[in-house]
Amino acid sequence: MDIVIEVTDGGSSDIRNAQKAVDALLEAHVITRSLQIGEVSAKETNDFNAVWNDHRPEPLGIPIGKDIVNLLPAVVQLLKNFLQHVRL
């Protein structure tokens, strides 16, 4: 099981290439999610959603807000969701 969790402000210099990179990870069966953190502009929010959420069967990007203390609980929750069905 491969998992990628990207932490970002959400801005992208090339939205289409970012979408293609996410698509390639998904096609390789990599569990892929993104956490948007920081004080972000409307453009960064739109870019983030364009890459991670828009036109996808399920949202892959989660806005965390500007408070860094929210990052670790969000990562833990994501991992818990991914790993709860793993049998050793």
Q: What SS3 class is residue 72?
A: helix
pTM of the model: 0.88
User: What DSSP state is assigned to residue 68?
Assistant: G
Domain boundaries, the chain: 3-83
Q: What is the pLDDT of residues 16-61, one digit of tens each?
A: 999 999 999 999 999 999 999 999 999 999 999 999 999 999 999 9
d(CA 20, CA 50): 12
Residue 88 has pLDDT above 80, yes or no: no
Residue 10 has pLDDT above 90, yes or no: no
